[in-house]
Structure 1
Amino acid sequence: MSDDGSQYSGNRLNAQPSNRGPGSLSEGDRGVLRASGDWIVGHARDLNRQIGRAGTADSIDVGHIGRLDTSGAHLLVKLAEATGAEIENCPDRYRSLIERVAGAEGPPADLPERGNAILRILEALGRGASEAGARTISMVAFLGAVFEAAGRTIMNPRRFRLTATVRHMEEAGLSAFPIVMLISFLVGVVLAFQGAAQLQRFGAEIFVVNLIGVSVLREIGILLTAIVVAGRSGSAFAAQIGSMKVNEEVDAMRALGLDPMDVLVLPRVLALFLMMGPLAFLADLTGLIGGGLMAWVALDIPPALFAERLAATIPLSALMVGLAKAPVFGALIAMVGCYEGLRTQGSAESLGRQTTRAVVEGIFIVIVADAIFSIFFNLVGI
């Protein structure tokens, strides 16, 4: 903002180079405060602190100011009001700017105080904890809404949407078989190879069968399946419902008297609830096949001996433990995806953010649930 036609960049006015430098405030003789250097927004914090330490004065000499912008002019006016002094020796190129700022209502935008670094970290941690708590409460409320919708559907089966459920079972379940099989097979190979390298040191190569059987059947198979499904189907659910939110299709659905929980959420939750079991079983099977092939190649353990040792040492409960987790993990992943999709606002940026959150939170919740299952099964002796 300038009245003299001088060159400027943004709202910073250029003065003579000799006066440039960080803005400062010093005390002169006979109650005179001298302002010098660049009084611009980049130095506003430091200048504001200097003004806070200034005492009373009769006048403020601004003849040595280099550059002045709107924030600097506001600080000069603030200094004059705080000290009861008059601004003197003001260059003509800045006079109209100071007069306009003095007559304006409210200060211009200023840079926020950064404060202490430790306090900023603590503030960020506290804000994050508060947001996480609020998000957890919101998710629990959404879980309650899903159970409520399921109860209404059970009481009135005509609300159930069979076609949508079957379609989602195909998209989220059947279409995921190849990638789940491939990843589980490769992880079984890696697990057997690493186990063999360690057990060979002690002459206990045969125990690689126990290692593969317990790890794949109880934990690795279902966790890999859940992670793949969260990245594949959880993100897809969030993106599909989020796009409908952006296009206001969900609002139109409500205007037609349709409940999004019945139309959008329940079919997806039920589809993953039903399909995670077959996916986990397939992951267990291919993981054992991969581990058996590597044991055959690396340790010369033939498939017949591998299968015999597996049946003799690994109880059926190991398989059942993994399969018992599958429906719960599937329902959790679907609910997180739908929840994040329904929270999408009307922008592409929000859609991308909620889709990413659906994947991250889905994997996190699955791992937390798996830890809870492990503690429970350990307590009951399974």
Structure 2
Amino acid sequence: MEKPAEFNMRGAGERPTVALSGDWTANNLGDAPTRLAQAVKVRGDVAVDIRKVRRLDTAGAYAVIRAVGHDYDLKTVQARPESERLLELVGAAVRVEPVTVRQPRGFHELTVRIGKGVMNVGYEWVDTLAFLGHLLVVVVRTAIYLFTEPKRVRWAAIFTLAERAGLDAIPIVAVTSFFIGAVVGLLGANMLRQFGAEVFAVELIGIAVLREFNIIITAVLLAGRSASSFAAELGSMKMNQEIDAMKVMGVDPFEALVLPRFIALLLTIPLLTFVATLAGLFGGLVVVWSVLHLGPTFFLQRIVDDVGAVHFWVGMSKAPVMAMVIAGIGCRQGLEVGGDVESLGRRVTAAVVHAIFAIIMIDAVFALLFMKLNV
């Protein structure tokens, strides 16, 4: 049974003694610390006896130290060994002086921020290499499963994610590509009309859509749609410690969560790129037909004769690379989420921004490569 904290003064000599009793814990202190401090202040120098205290925690020890003063010699307190040790620990903590850290200002602050940024880039690079290495191991292991144990491959997750990330995105990809093709056709017709070469708007539309805009529009839309979704899903699981639970149960999160998303985008981005190609060409056809009064047969014949299939395959060759980049960035940012909602928001935003930046940079690299190959 718990007893409230109490004390009594005894002795009226040069140094009276204050004897504590009961439970000096956070739940039982009451107003005892205040009365003790007043009594010690009135009597002056007193001795402290806490041998009859039943239970003592850090709150009770701090109350005793505050009552007798921080500069009081705790070694003169009469106490059991465990109580004496607790008083020493709390007293040492009370006597610690707070350290004031000067915040950098001006040029110093700028150099600190630059240094932290450089270090963060290094950490991100190392983490990315670790992510790629782990993913490569899982890919090889899954490839072995395809021939030895096909049932171990998570086909249900792959096709579910492919439907959600691919088939559900067909309308938005098609509509966006249609208007992009229409805009390219309208701009091309207006500019080429000045030179009397309106007919070449067909080649402009074909090359622009087949070579660049089909894959760029598809990849950017999936970066905002799928990369953010992957980061939010995995980040939420990380916050709820579901990924840690999977590791405890012996399930590899890369095999269960990351790889299905990679395969799903690898399967769907070529399909979406083909849909974007058809929609973009149709948008250009509508503009050429309505503005230049050139019929669909003429449009398609010039696409086949003058543009050809090379540009189509150039655009399609970028699709697998874009799929790996979008899935990798989204999954990696999701796995880096901390334990708070702010971290989740930062990582989801970073997934979209990094994916779009990577798409533009990779497309530029492809453009330089095909230019060197004269393709």
**Does the TM-score normalized on the shorter chain lie above 0.5?**
yes
Name the structure 1 match of 2:59.
none
SS in 2 for 1:284: helix
Aligned partner of 2:277 among 268, 274, 284: 284
Any idea what the Cα deviations from partners look like across 1:180-207, whole Å, max 9, x if unmatched? 0010001111111111111111111111
Which position in structure 1 is the counterpart of 2:343?
350
Q: Does 1:114 align with 2:105?
A: yes
Deviation at 1:248, TM superposition (A): 0.6
Matched ranges for 1:1-382 at <5 A: 105-106=96-97, 109=100, 112-116=103-107, 120-157=109-146, 158=149, 159-382=152-375
SS of the residue aligned with 2:294?
A: coil
The amino acid across from 1:112 in the alignment is Q
Counterpart amino acid of residue 119 in structure 2: S
Q: TM-score, normalised by structure 1?
A: 0.70
1:324-354: CA deviation from partner (whole Å, max 9, x where unpaired)? 1111111210111110111111111111111
Q: What are the ranges of 5 or more consecutive residues in structure 2 without an aligned counterpart? A: 1-93
Distance 1:113 1:324 in 2: 50
Partner deviation per Cα, 1:107-159 (whole Å, 9 max, x = no partner): 5646524133xx54454344323322321232132112111101011122333
C-alpha separation in 2, matches of 1:282 and 1:351: 33
Q: Work out the CA distance in 2 between the residues paired with 1:171 and 1:284.
A: 21
Shift of 1:364: 1.2
Distance 1:242 1:379, change over 3 A: same
RMSD, aligned CA: 1.7
SS of 1:344's equivalent in the other structure is coil
CA distance in structure 2 between the partners assigned to 1:193 and 1:123 by the alignment: 51
Whose radius of gyration is greater, 1 or 2?
Answer: 2
Equivalent residue letter for 1:127:
K
> 2:83 corresponds to which residue?
none
CA–CA separation in structure 1 for the residues paired with 2:306 and 2:290: 21
- What secondary structure does 2:199 align onto? helix
The code of the aligned residue for 1:381 comes to: N
More displaced 10-residue stretch of structure 1: 368-377 or 216-225:
368-377
State how far apart, in whole Å, the 1-side matches of 2:291 and 2:273 are.
Answer: 27
Query: What secondary structure sits across from 1:156 in the alignment?
Result: helix
Q: Secondary structure, in 3 states, of the residue corresponding to 1:345?
A: coil
Aligned counterparts of 1:140 and 1:319: Cα–Cα separation in 2: 33
| CA deviation string 1:291-319 (max 9, x = no partner) | 11011112222111111111111121100
Do the aligned partners of residues 258 and 111 (structure 1) sit closer, same or farther apart at CA in structure 2, a change above 3 Å counting? same
Identity %: 42
Task: Give, as a single letter, the amino acid of the residue that structure 2 aligns with 1:133.
Answer: G
Cα distance in 1, alignment partners of residues 371 and 167 from structure 2: 33
